């Protein structure tokens, strides 16, 4: 098997696994299921990945690279409207890998490699970038918050974002989520910013929050 063929099969396994995990749930999909869907033998799959967790680690790396690219390359917003668009972009990335966030802690407990990748990504890469976002909004006069509040808010925003799909799924009775979950999550994460907004920003912020469409009133207090 030549290099191009190996890479093609490798990529097909990763791409198909992502689609199946998102559609059917990671727990419901086995390596045999993936191989059958691709019309390859289980042995062919095991040539590239020893088990399902190795596929999941690769998908996490792909997700982290995509999110980091978005956070690093998207200009930091300096107003409320831009911040909504920015956070919408974050949720768009997470939605593409939503199976990772349906039962985060179970996945992390299963794989030491995944846990290490996750912790490094969160603490070393994502948290500082979210702090940069809040610093820009403070410097632009959109928000008022000191350094301690800034660090706490960045962490809390990421906690809500990371665990949103799992929470929303439970609220929806564990039914398969639709893309409206992204809207609900975006609103919930952004709501953490409201207490720190300058008073003159509140009317615009509230108007934008109301304008975000959603099909679930439970989280639209």
pLDDT, position 219 = 41
pLDDT, position 92 = 96
- pTM recorded for the entire structure: 0.87
What's the pLDDT tens digit per position in 21-71?
999 989 999 999 999 999 999 999 999 999 999 999 999 999 999 999 999
In contact, 119 and 63? CB cutoff 8 Å: no
In contact, 158 and 127? CB cutoff 8 Å: yes
Please report the domains of the chain, with CATH numbers, ordered by start residue.
Answer: 1-50 (1.10.10.60), 53-219 (1.10.357.10)
The residue ranges of the chain whose pLDDT is under 50 are 1, 214-221
pLDDT, position 220 = 41
């Amino acid at each position: 098997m030549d290099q191009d063929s190996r890479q093609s099969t490798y990529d097909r396994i990763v791409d198909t696994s992502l689609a199946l995990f998102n559609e059917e749930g990671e727990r419901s999909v086995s390596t045999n299921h993936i191989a059958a869907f691709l019309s390859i033998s289980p042995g062919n799959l095991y040539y590239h990945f020893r088990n399902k967790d190795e596929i999941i680690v690769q998908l996490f790396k792909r997700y982290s690279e995509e999110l980091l690219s978005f956070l690093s390359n998207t200009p930091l917003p300096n107003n409320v409207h831009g911040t909504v668009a920015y956070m919408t972009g974050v949720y768009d990335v997470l939605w593409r890998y939503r199976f990772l966030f349906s039962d985060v802690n179970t996945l992390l407990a299963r794989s030491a490699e995944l846990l290490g990748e996750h912790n490094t990504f969160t603490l070393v890469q994502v948290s500082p970038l979210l702090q940069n976002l809040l610093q820009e909004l403070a410097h632009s006069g959109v928000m008022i918050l000191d350094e301690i509040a800034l660090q706490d808010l960045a962490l809390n925003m990421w906690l809500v974002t990371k665990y949103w799909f799992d929470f929303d799924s439970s609220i929806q009775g564990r039914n398969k989520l639709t893309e409206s979950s992204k809207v609900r999550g975006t609103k919930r994460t952004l709501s953490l910013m409201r207490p720190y907004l300058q008073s003159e920003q509140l009317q615009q912020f509230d108007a934008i929050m109301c304008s975000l469409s959603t099909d679930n009133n439970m989280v639209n207090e």
